[in-house]
Amino acid sequence: MKYRRLGACGLKVSELCLGTMTFGHTTDETESEAIVNGAIDAGVTFFDTANTYADGASECILGKALAGRRKDVVLATKFFNPFGPGPNDSGVSRHAIYRAVTDSLKRLGTDYIDLYYVHHVDTQVKPEETLRALDDLVRGGLVRYVACSNYPAWRLCDSLWTSASGNLERYVAYQGQYNLVVRDLEEEVVPLCLEKGVGLVAWGPLAGGFLTGKYQPGDRTRPGTRSEAGWVWQSNSFAANADDILRTLLEVAAEESRSATQVALRFILGRPGVASVVAGARTHEQFSDSLHASGWELSRDSYTRLEEVSRPTLRYPASFEANTHERRDNAVRT
């Protein structure tokens, strides 16, 4: 297992992060514990959950599985989604944050959270309120680092400025959907993270199972999979040429003597700024496949083929300004 620095902060994480959304949902406690144990045995130190995954069961199961090994891992959880029926039982207000962190700490069976994510955008709360509350949590020892997920670039930039101007804790990481068929982050979010030293953590690196080899070009639903139940299926975000991308992935996997899962994960791990990919699994066998994405590199030809077939079309203003550096260079007369 390889370990990478999380952006500009001093924290290092395993390049594979175990995502536990399935724990307590499609994966029972016994199987969940086996997945965690297998991950730790393979060198995984980064674990990801959220306060509302399986109505809190994911945090409970993960906390039990990590008992006795808590100090050896980086534990991340998130908050935003409703955790009660009241008008203040969701969002990123100071009130909601303190309630959410208290409940998460109890379910996880720990007295601190290593990486605490704002899960979604809350348009009803000013960034100053959220960041001040998160700063207090860090100063109080309940949280070590703070991060955000699913923010547009302008909102992330505004939050970073708010932290800098107010001497508040800043977001050290950004978790966003990033895979071969959804590379939208590359237009604005990735350049911002690279410029500001924010570590990228990719969720959905297998596109909800679409890139695991279970599907063939043209397939969108397979019996016995999450696609059949319509659970966490993001096909509305897929690139228009998703089938061409999948076809190339399957070809490259065969040529590399790797599974489609391993190649898809390896590709995202090769993108600039990516610190880790969140790989979830329903079974220990599935996650064992993902573990083999670590410790090797795609050949240059394979990487190039995947990059080219999945390269997103730039939108304005990026499309209009893409070659301005060439204009400047060509203007020089020697």
How distant, in Å, are the alpha carbons of 50, 263, 288 from that of 11? Answer: 20, 26, 25
Handedness of CA 195, 198, 199, 202 (dihedral sign): negative
| Antiparallel, parallel or unpaired: β 199-203 and 171-177 | parallel
Q: At what angle do helices 242-256 and 300-310 cross, to 10 degrees?
A: 170
For 254-308, the DSSP string reads HHHTS-HHHHHHHHHHTSTTEEEEEEE-SSHHHHHHHHTTSS----HHHHHHHHH
CA distance 239 to 312: 8
The answer to whether the CB of 235 falls within 8 A of the CB of 210 is yes
CA distance 128 to 163: 8
Which runs of consecutive H residues, i.e. helices, occur in 123-259?
Answer: 127-139, 153-166, 189-196, 226-229, 242-256
Q: Which residues are catalytic?
A: 53
